[in-house]
Structure 1
Amino acid sequence: MTNPFRVAAAVIAGGVAVILDSTIVAVALHQLATDLHADVRTIQWVSTAYLLALGVVIPVVGWLQGRVGAKRLWMAALALFLVGSVLCAFAWNAPSLIAFRVIQGAGGGAMLPLMTTMVVQATGEADRNRVVSVVALPAAVGPILGPVIGGLILGAASWRWLFLVNVPLCLLGLLLAWRLIPSDTPSRRVRLDARGFALLSPGLVVLLWGLSNASGSFVRADVLIPLAAGAALLTAFVLRAVRLGPAALVDLDVLRSRNTWAATSLLFLSGAALYGAMFLLPLYWQQSRGSTALEAGLLLIPQGVGSLLSRVAATRLLDRVGPRAVAMAGFALVGLATVPFALAGEHTAIWPLMTALFVRGLGLGIVLIPLMTVAFVGLPHEKIPHASIVTRIAQQVGGSVGVALLAVVLANSGSFDVAFWWTLAFTAVAVALSFTLPKAGEAASHVALDRSDDAVVRH
């Protein structure tokens, strides 16, 4: 029988680099623009290209897993991410760096949903809370520690080490994947829903692109046109997927489970709160308080420490009081810890703000574990890849919406306190929505899905 903790160890070793990479470059954009002789608008594509590549690949991961098997796909994606990282480190100008970030994103886009899928499929219901809490750790801490690590690297070395630091992590991940992840037999009968792919991936890409353009206003052609096009393509995909059911590229029947749709909605909001704040906080320290990139990274350490420390407590609380209470408590902590920043001024003492960051990290660490666990409760084995893709897309789009909205608020108000009040609004909605999660002792499954052992997912 597969040991899920061995699978989790291999997945974390390889996946942590991908998760860190989502934010590690954020503090380096000014340095990259200077060293590569590019304007800010061009260098922003170093982050945008990575994000768009993720959007292209994530929807097709379920089909790829069925065709080549989870282990082969994981190792191939990790190898591609490794190649992209090395190429990024040796980029000679902004266009080459942007192109190599696309390669990185293609590998990372396959790994993000797959890391959850492999662990959940290897774990029984009884051990799922403990195992998922392990896998949730890099997902909770990685985006927070990214700017910290990025600031430390920039303070000691060239920006090229932002990418070279991935090399040992990827090599270790490949070794552990080869040794610890069991081989699985791919299904050669899986077909690609080509029309669904032609709707979903471009829809996500243009939607994310439109959101990334909203730096000062949503009322612009390069924002409204991509958002409208993306919404139209995604709507067409949803209508097609509902009609096709299990034959669709992503089986949206998983959202008929109350657990899955509630967790998906909350992951959207948690993505907005997490990535939105990670956009604001470094800017606050640097623009409002005059900190350097290194200092801003160091000042964010308490948030990462809080997320690390809350993991064990979250698992125990989940077993004792249930997902609803844990999620509500986590989002409430995030909201309360945001208030000091909304009230802070240029001369507010730093230590109260760092304490607030620690509490905010506790809340973020607590939130992800029940959401990542509940999303898969009651789902049959073959539905898990689809639920993983849906939740990952929700978190990715939520993060982009949060960043775009807060960027517009900050640009128009010129005030960090207004932007922080908006992040508080995200968490307030999440607290209310947490009531849809199951209570302790409530029936585990609210899924109206076909559970036949003979069911075959056809794409």
Structure 2
Amino acid sequence: MSVADRASTAGIGPLTTVIVLGGFMAGIDTSLVNVGLATIAEDLHATLVDAQWATSGYLLALAAALPASAWLQHRLGASRLWLIALVAFMVASLLCAVAPNLPLLIIARAVQGVSGGLLVPTGQSIVARAVSPDRMGRTMATAGLVIMAAPAIGPALGGLLIDTMSWRWLFAVNVPIGVAATLLALRVLPKDAANRTARLDLLGLALLSTGLPALLSGLTNLGSPGTQGTWGPILAVLGALLLVAFVGNATRRDRSSKRTPLLELSLFRRMSYTTAQVTLFFTGLSLFGGLILLPLYYETLRGLTVTHTGLLLLAYGLGALAALPVGGRITDRYGAGITCIIGLTIAMVATAPFVFLPQNTSLVTVELLQALRGIGVGLAGIPAMTAAIRAASDHLADATTTANIIQRVGGSLGSAIIVIVIARTPRQLTGFQAAHAILVAAAAIALVAAGSLAISERRRPRAAATSQASTTHP
């Protein structure tokens, strides 16, 4: 490694650390609050249904803000936007911690959601812009720690905070983390140019910022009892129609040199970009569907407490954490497609036994399989994101925003399917076995997409080399 390379690598470490700190707050926040909803409702003299808006409001605000990330990065600069979102999230966390009633808590949570929707894709853009292509896999794996591990670690940490302190610490814990991240960010965030003349596609923003929350909310409520279940399909269809309208608007703007779309959908003409996004969608379906299934498996089927469930989920989280740095190195050396194939294969092998295992299976066996599944998902999740970013290095803001949208839609669809299958299967064990079969099927589809990604990655260097040769020797 040259002196310049060592200097570059040394500079990436602090930058990645600050991005991880900011992303950790946004990534872990939802799972923390889910654990404490009942306690929050009781303390604020509200019903559990009303308290649920502390979570739903966060997720809807996040989905509404996410589409604006790419344009705001162009308009303000990625570093400035990330710092604004970080401070906003920290202040909103403090307001949540001291909220005297539920309405103010919900409002503060919505502010958290808006800032959280900007933190993750903007942070990924900053890291991708700063690192060299040959180290992107390792660096993105480090930056992706929060995406893979936070949902699994959150329940255990949330239960610990509630048992030993107060539900208000579910939010207050973000303040010292945010202060540390802000002080470090002021020192290490790179200076980037802002395009003050970047025009906002208002129609595209209106379509995507309403369609995406409607779709995610509809998918989340599919199969729910009562009014929520009735509105679920309606919202899902409405959201899908708005997204189709957004694609039509973006395509029309892409064909006009004077009209800039909210997101560069023309990137999907690149085979490696498209296959990476498809892989990311089905990997997200399997990943987030599994994160919904795991707590239900332990609590509903095995009859364990919330605290015990949170501790048992650590096996999955630790498996993912152990796999991430290995996956990053494999991605840099052999490509994202190969890494995804390895990870998805491991995930399928670890999930398939649950299609046949009886209800009284030893928890030791269950934990070993969950840890192995965590390893598989840890290997597969981030490389697909890395491949999409590599394929669109000239449009990083658009690539990271689109990748996060696609991953969330896939995750919401996976969660909805899992909940519906379990709720509507007469025999409880059969429902959980069918749900695990769906996760295996989703991983199998993602495996096919990963194979296409591996092929497109092998073709891309050859195409680049041919282009360079024709330029050098006309």
TM over 0.5: yes
Aligned match of 1:454 = none
Q: Distance in 2 between matches of 1:219 and 1:97?
A: 22
2:33 matched to 1:18?
A: no
Deviations 1:300-336 (A, max 9, x none): 1111111111123212322443322210111122222
Within the candidate set 225, 233, 250, 2:234 is matched to 225
Aligned match of 1:453 = none
Report deviation, 1:219.
Answer: 11
Aligned match of 1:289 = 302
Aligned match of 2:467 = none
2:434 matched to 1:418?
A: yes
Aligned match of 2:383 = 370
Deviations 1:187-216 (A, max 9, x none): 111011111111111111111121222243
SS at match of 1:442: helix
Q: Distance in 2 between matches of 1:225 and 1:409?
A: 19
Aligned match of 1:394 = 406
Q: Distance in 1 between matches of 2:328 and 2:90?
A: 32
Aligned match of 1:38 = 46
Choose 321-330 or 202-211, whichever is displaced more: 321-330
SS at match of 1:291: coil
Checking the alignment, whether the CA contact within 8 Å between 1:69 and 1:184 is kept in structure 2 is: yes
SS at match of 2:298: helix
Distance 1:311 1:111, change over 3 A: same
Q: Distance in 1 between matches of 2:457 and 2:411?
A: 32
2:246 matched to 1:237?
A: yes
Within the candidate set 414, 421, 427, 2:443 is matched to 427
Report deviation, 1:440.
Answer: 9.7
Q: Distance in 1 between matches of 2:387 and 2:280?
A: 11
**Percent pairwise identity:** 36
Report deviation, 1:79.
Answer: 0.8
Report deviation, 1:441.
Answer: 7.2
Amino acid at match of 1:272: L
Aligned match of 1:456 = none
Q: Distance in 1 between matches of 2:461 and 2:268?
A: 12
Within the candidate set 79, 86, 89, 2:97 is matched to 89
- Map 1:128-143 to 2 at 5 A: 128-143=136-151
Report deviation, 1:439.
Answer: 4.6
Q: Distance in 2 between matches of 1:440 and 1:241?
A: 25
Q: What's the TM-score, normalizing by structure 1?
A: 0.91
Aligned match of 1:438 = 454
2:191 matched to 1:200?
A: no
Q: Distance in 2 between matches of 1:350 and 1:230?
A: 40
Aligned residues: 448
Q: Distance in 2 between matches of 1:417 and 1:350?
A: 16
Q: Distance in 2 between matches of 1:78 and 1:60?
A: 16
Aligned match of 2:275 = 262
Distance 1:214 1:129, change over 3 A: same
- Map 1:2-401 to 2 at 5 A: 3-216=11-224, 220-245=229-254, 247-381=260-394, 383-401=395-413
Q: Distance in 2 between matches of 1:321 and 1:6?
A: 26
Q: Distance in 2 between matches of 1:134 and 1:268?
A: 21
Distance 1:179 1:106, change over 3 A: same
Distance 1:439 1:78, change over 3 A: same
Report deviation, 1:132.
Answer: 1.6
Q: Distance in 1 between matches of 2:197 and 2:364?
A: 59
Amino acid at match of 1:358: A
Distance 1:447 1:188, change over 3 A: farther
Deviations 1:386-425 (A, max 9, x none): 0111100001111111111111111111432222222222
Checking the alignment, whether the CA contact within 8 Å between 1:27 and 1:282 is kept in structure 2 is: no
SS at match of 2:144: helix
Distance 1:307 1:32, change over 3 A: same
Deviations 1:354-412 (A, max 9, x none): 0011101111111123212211224343x111011110000111111111111111111
Checking the alignment, whether the CA contact within 8 Å between 1:208 and 1:397 is kept in structure 2 is: yes
Q: Distance in 2 between matches of 1:90 and 1:387?
A: 37
Larger radius of gyration: 2
Amino acid at match of 2:324: R
Checking the alignment, whether the CA contact within 8 Å between 1:378 and 1:446 is kept in structure 2 is: no
Return the structure number with greater helix share: 2
Amino acid at match of 1:409: V
Aligned match of 2:472 = none
Aligned match of 1:404 = 416
Gaps spanning 5+ residues in structure 1: where? Answer: 449-459
Distance 1:440 1:310, change over 3 A: farther
Q: Distance in 1 between matches of 2:304 and 2:378?
A: 26
Q: Distance in 2 between matches of 1:155 and 1:412?
A: 34
Aligned Cα root-mean-square deviation (Å): 2.4
Aligned match of 1:457 = none
Q: Distance in 2 between matches of 1:43 and 1:426?
A: 33
SS at match of 2:327: helix
